[in-house]
Amino acid sequence: MALRTLDDPAVRPLIDGFGRRIDYLRLSVTDRCDFRCVYCMSEHMTFLPKAEVLSLEEIDRLASAFVRRGVRKLRLTGGEPLVRRGIVDLVRSLSRHLDSGAIDELTLTTNGSQLARHAADLAAAGVRRINVSLDTLDPDRFARITRWGRLPQVLEGIAAAIAAGLHVKINMVALKGLNEDEIDTMLRWCGAAGHDLVLIETMPLGEVEEDRTDRYLPLSAVRHDLESRWTLDPIPLSTGGPARYVRVRETGQRLGFITPLTHNFCESCNRVRLTATGTLYMCLGQDDSIDLRAVLRGSDDDGAIDAALDAAMAAKPKGHDFRIDRRDAAPAVARHMSLTGG
């Protein structure tokens, strides 16, 4: 079946009930990960049976349905996307939408553990930039946060990505009492290496062993503190995601803030998330969802997928209900980030 475009009057852009155009799909290719980060998942996770996970061909078909409806940016996530067998083949297949001009960007978020093996192939397949999750530059602290990770392996992966010509953005979850004293160090390191840095507030998703209230660090306070030592110039940059950016005058690099708790970004939300099982979540912080796997496997007609996407747009909520409150220790959403896609 030929891929229709928005020039076709039968194809409608994805616009939700609040008039927001959805042009960004975050696509989880697996819930599995080779790390067990303390703020993200339990140390003893039970992962999905492989039979429940979409095949690469099914992922491609669903992603292409979103592209046909006007999605311009695809981000592959996990879990850890690079542990999925055949991930580079999927990237090569999806890159045809780059070649045709149907999408502006195909990228991924990774913990960096497998980058040394895959960076060159990703670049050859059309990926131009990646996000690497890195919360500390201290090897012992890195092992504590990730439980199973090794910092030298990730740094080797980042070096391989740079050698392959990929632009690397560093994502750092700000954790009170754990890595807050390293933010200046990370700023200097990113500045010297030419990486942009994005700071992220911990999100109340899924049960973990630690009390998140002990680790919650408001980025409003972090920014105020940083401004006593760094010159942070606001810039009108949007990368299609939720971060708000400044430029650090002393390094020349960009610093982003993702603040789901102190200042949510719902009013400009342009994205949805598809899990590895084909469940479409219209909001990271809500449970509203559509089972696209059943639609996909129930018909070869993409019209059924279109109808499901229309229903999803009608159901997309205005915003999330994230909060961290000692009086209610339960997470705002029971599912783990590794299931939804980071």
- How do residues 208-263 score in pLDDT, each as one tens digit? 455 556 778 999 999 999 999 999 999 987 665 678 999 999 999 999 999 876 55
- Model confidence at 336: pLDDT above 60: no
Query: Is 190 known as a binding-site position?
Result: no
Q: Provide the token pair at 81.
A: 């996307």
Query: Is 335 known as a binding-site position?
Result: no
Q: Provide the token pair at 202.
A: 């911990």
pLDDT of 243 reads: 83
Strand, coil or helix: 269: coil
| 24-340 carries CATH number 3.40.50.300 | no
For the chain, the average pLDDT equals 88
**Are 148 and 35 contacting, i.e. CB atoms less than 8 angstroms apart?**
yes
pLDDT of 2 reads: 47
Query: Is 133 known as a binding-site position?
Result: yes
Pairing relation of β-strands 232-234 and 73-77? unpaired
Which residues 6+ apart lie within 8 Å of 51 measured at CB? none
Task: Give the residue from 86, 96, 155 showing the smallest Cα distance to 121.
Answer: 86
> Residue 237 and residue 280: Cα distance in Å, rounded?
28
Query: Is 50 known as a binding-site position?
Result: no
> Residue 106 and residue 94: Cα distance in Å, rounded?
8
Q: Which parts of 48-178 fold into alpha helices (H)? A: 56-68, 87-94, 96-100, 115-124, 139-146, 151-163
- Model confidence at 48: pLDDT above 90: no
Query: Is 272 known as a binding-site position?
Result: yes
Confidence of residue 332 (pLDDT cuts 50, 70, 90): very low
Region label for 287, one of left (φ > 0), alpha (ψ between -120 and 50) or beta (otherwise): alpha
Pairing relation of β-strands 196-201 and 254-258? parallel
Query: Is 24 known as a binding-site position?
Result: no
Phi and psi at residue 215, to the nearest 5°: -110, -10
Query: Is 293 known as a binding-site position?
Result: no
pLDDT of 341 reads: 59
Delimit the domains of the chain by residue range.
24-340
Query: Is 37 known as a binding-site position?
Result: yes
pLDDT of 330 reads: 46
Strand, coil or helix: 274: strand
Tell me whether the omega of the peptide bond preceding residue 79 falls within 30 degrees of 0, making it cis. yes
Q: Provide the token pair at 75.
A: 């981000």
Query: Is 338 known as a binding-site position?
Result: no
Task: Give the residue from 27, 86, 53 showing the smallest Cα distance to 277.
Answer: 53
Q: Is 338 exposed, middle or buried (0-12, 13-18, 19+ CB in 10 A)?
A: buried
Vertex 38: Cα angle to 33 and 40 (nearest 5): 55
Query: Is 128 known as a binding-site position?
Result: no
Residues in the chain: 342
In this prediction the pTM is: 0.86
With tokens 């696509």, the residue in question is 27
> Residue 86 and residue 331: Cα distance in Å, rounded?
33
- Model confidence at 10: pLDDT above 70: no
**Are 178 and 139 contacting, i.e. CB atoms less than 8 angstroms apart?**
no
